Amino acid sequence: MIGFFGGSFDPVHLGHLNNAVQIKQQLDLSALYLMPCKAPVHKNALTFSTQQRLDMLHAAVQDFPDLAIDEREINSDVESYTIHSLKQIKHQYPQQSICLIIGMDSFKQLSSWKDYLEFQQYCHLIVLARPGQEKPADTYHFKLVKHKSELAKQGAGLLYFANTNLHDISSSKIRGILFDTTANGKIRAKQNLAELLPASVINYLR
């Protein structure tokens, strides 16, 4: 099985990275790819440019060698729709079980994603819990399983809620720190960011 963890990564932070490493180990994935989108449909304009977000991801994975980057959405000439990526990935890896990894907040909004009812044809859906968020009742045509061992028994269509350590970190929180007007637009002292961002990303931002 291989995993794809999508997002805007604006910027990538330790919540993304630590959860990704835990999921790769927990599900015994042969590879896990961070898949940054180019133009997120469900969000406002991004703070960092496409190249800056990609640069920060490349800097971050130097410290997280278990992770890799998939640039298909970044390199696309059209808007980022997950269904398009899933079809491409399944065509590229026809013999592999594909795990799409999303956060609980995204899972709750899945019905607003393009052709979301088709996802179960191409992947398993792995949902990461976030602090204070409960599991919704809707499974979006996926079959809910409680044991990770069941994921390897079929190629797609299963829903699994991952048991990872919760990280109360968000990119919006980090942007609020980075661009606090009381700091004259400058990045605050390193110790205020060390628990949020890998050192390589802090150095890039500086």
Per-residue pLDDT at 190 exceeds 80: no
Residue 187: the pLDDT is 60
Q: What is the pLDDT of the chain when averaged over all its residues?
A: 87
Say what the pTM is: 0.88
Residue 136: the pLDDT is 79
Residue 80: the pLDDT is 77
The torsion region of residue 199 among left (phi > 0), alpha (psi -120 to 50) and beta comes to: alpha
Q: CA 190 to CA 196: how far, in whole Å?
A: 10
**Could you report the per-residue pLDDT of 134-169, keeping only the tens digit for each?**
777 889 999 999 999 999 999 999 999 997 776 666
String of b and e for 49-87 (b: at least 16 CB within 10 Å)? eeeebbebbebbbeebeebebbebbbebeeebbbbbbbe
Residue 189: the pLDDT is 55
Question: Mean per-residue pLDDT for 179-189?
Answer: 55
Per-residue pLDDT at 171 exceeds 80: no
Q: CA 206 to CA 201: how far, in whole Å?
A: 9
Token pair for 192: 């205020």
Residue 166: the pLDDT is 62
Q: What angle do CA 130, 196, 2 make, to 5 degrees?
A: 60
